[in-house]
Amino acid sequence: MRQSFIAGNWKMHKTPAEAVALAEELKKGLSDCKHKLLIAPSFTALDAVSKVVKGSNILLGAQNMATVEEGAHTGETSVLMLKAIGVDVVILGHSERRHVYGETDEMINTKVKLALEHGFEVILCVGETLEEREAGNAEKVVKTQTESGLKDVTEAQLEKVTIAYEPVWAIGTGKTATPEDADQIHKVTRDTVKNLYSDAAAEKMIIQYGGSVKPNNAAQLMSMENIDGALVGGASLKADLFLPIAEYDK
């Protein structure tokens, strides 16, 4: 049985004080939650939130990371900086990074390897655009993004990788993939891991779904065979929405 992994991606929301307040609320509300939990505040709030979740059952995530450890990279954040403030997990390849900021599969793969070399867990995001889905290419796109993102990652390192399937057309739009459609792409992703590594690696791989996950659709999505958790955007910004998602089976 794979453990459910529920993550909140706070994107570019909340000042440090607001982020600390929400983290405190979630820490209290989820203290006996049996699922794996993560919150990913923006960079300016990471240090403050790190102090709140330290020693709790909530992991701390960063939303991105530079491709190199240090140097003349104005505006970037290094793996070493994230390490120094207690970040556990780095979200990489989010569709907003791919499509708004032009990150390529090669850049994402470089980041994945760098994060893993430094002992971080990684959430590798994959997902097709509406255009790609309508052209019948959803499975192909997700397969390619999975293969490229995991290039030269060893099977031992894979233990620290979660994949998040986030169809771009379902992010922040209120449109969710049907549980059956999502499960189908999750299965393709799992088969891709199987072909790249082994049956055992595929069986263990946690694959989250992301894209308009809300309290009213979380349980149904999570009931699907290949959906092992959620990467939540908008609904992770309020405790009264995120708590019931994280406790979808209570």
Q: Please report, as ranges, the residues that interact with ligand 13P according to CB under 6 A.
A: 9, 94, 166, 171-172, 210-213, 231-235
- Residue of closest CB approach to ligand 13P: 233
**Which CB, 73 or 99, lies closer to ligand 13P?**
99
Helix (H) and strand (E) counts for the chain?
A: 11, 8
Is 94 known to be catalytic? yes
Nearest approach in angstroms of CB 72 to ligand 13P is 30
Q: What gap in Å lies between CA 90 and CA 112, rounded to an integer? A: 9
Between 205 and 245, name the residue whose CB sits nearer to ligand 13P. Answer: 245
Q: What is the identity of the amino acid at 43?
A: F
Angle between helices 43-53 and 16-29 (to 10 degrees): 30
CB of 67 to ligand 13P, least distance (A): 20
Catalytic residue among 94, 103, 139, 247: 94
**Considering the complex, what minimum distance in angstroms separates the CB of residue 195 from ligand 13P?**
26
- For 154, half-sphere exposure in the C-beta direction (CA atoms, 13 angstrom radius) is 5
Question: Residue 59 or 70: which CB sits closer to ligand 13P?
Answer: 59
CB of 64 to ligand 13P, least distance (A): 11
Q: Which of 121, 128, 139, 166 is catalytic?
A: 166
Q: How far is CA 181 from CA 113, 127, 227, in A?
A: 30, 13, 11
Closest CA to 59 of 45, 34, 39: 39
Residues with a catalytic annotation lie at 94, 166
